[in-house]
Amino acid sequence: MNKKELEEALIFPQGEKNPYGAYFTGQSYLEGMIADKDLPFGVGNVTFEPGCRNHWHIHKDGYQVLLVTAGEGWYQEEGKAAQLLHAGDTIVTHAGVKHWHGATKDSWFSHVAITAGEAVWLEEVSDEQYENLSK
């Protein structure tokens, strides 16, 4: 999916450059959607340029639900094969599960992330790990 196709497909705003960019390889964008201190979770639309992915991480005392809205991306839990994601796919990551997610090499990717608990950021997904993924 190219940038023009992404713009036509997005149902939520792309947002600004991601303030958590230090935990990403490549450029991502974040549009905060719900940040209510009375709720035990936050909701944001995260958009990844082609080749962008976040670092390995866990959700401490919480979880993350991903609702894929556009493009093609990857999701991988430690010790498991990466899953190719498309619009309409959903992912549930439970507390303490080490994982990463991001765009494929040649497609923009966008998902809504519903996140509870604290994200604990770990090492980068190496270029070698990423380059060895195949559709």
pTM above 0.75, yes or no: yes
The model's pLDDT over 46-95, given as tens digits with 9 standing for 90+, comes to 999 999 999 999 999 999 999 999 999 999 999 999 999 999 999 999 99
**φ/ψ of residue 126, rounded to 5:** -65, 155
Q: What is the dihedral of CA 56, 79, 1, 105, to 10 degrees?
A: 70
- Domain membership of residue 33 (yes or no) is yes
Tell me: pLDDT of 35 over 90: no
Q: What is the pLDDT of residue 52?
A: 98
Burial-class residue 45 by CB neighbours within 10 Å (0-12, 13-18, 19+). Answer: buried
- Domain membership of residue 63 (yes or no) is yes
Strand pairing class (57-77; 28-34): unpaired
Tell me: pLDDT of 135 over 80: no
Q: What is the pLDDT of residue 134?
A: 78
Q: Alpha carbon of 110 to those of 17, 29, 117: distances in Å?
A: 14, 9, 22
Distance separating alpha carbons of residues 45 and 57, to the nearest angstrom: 18
- Domain membership of residue 131 (yes or no) is no
- Other C-beta atoms within 10 Å of 34: how many? 10
Domain that holds residue 81: 1-121
The model's pLDDT over 108-131, given as tens digits with 9 standing for 90+, comes to 999 999 999 999 999 999 999 999
Domain tally, the chain? 1
- Domain membership of residue 135 (yes or no) is no
Query: Residue 36: which CATH number?
Result: 2.60.120.10
**φ/ψ of residue 8, rounded to 5:** -75, -30
- Domain membership of residue 132 (yes or no) is no
- Domain membership of residue 56 (yes or no) is yes
Copy the structure tokens of residue 85. 């994601």
- Domain membership of residue 39 (yes or no) is yes
Give the DSSP H/E element, type plus range, for residue 128. Answer: helix 127-131
Q: What is the pLDDT of residue 27?
A: 98
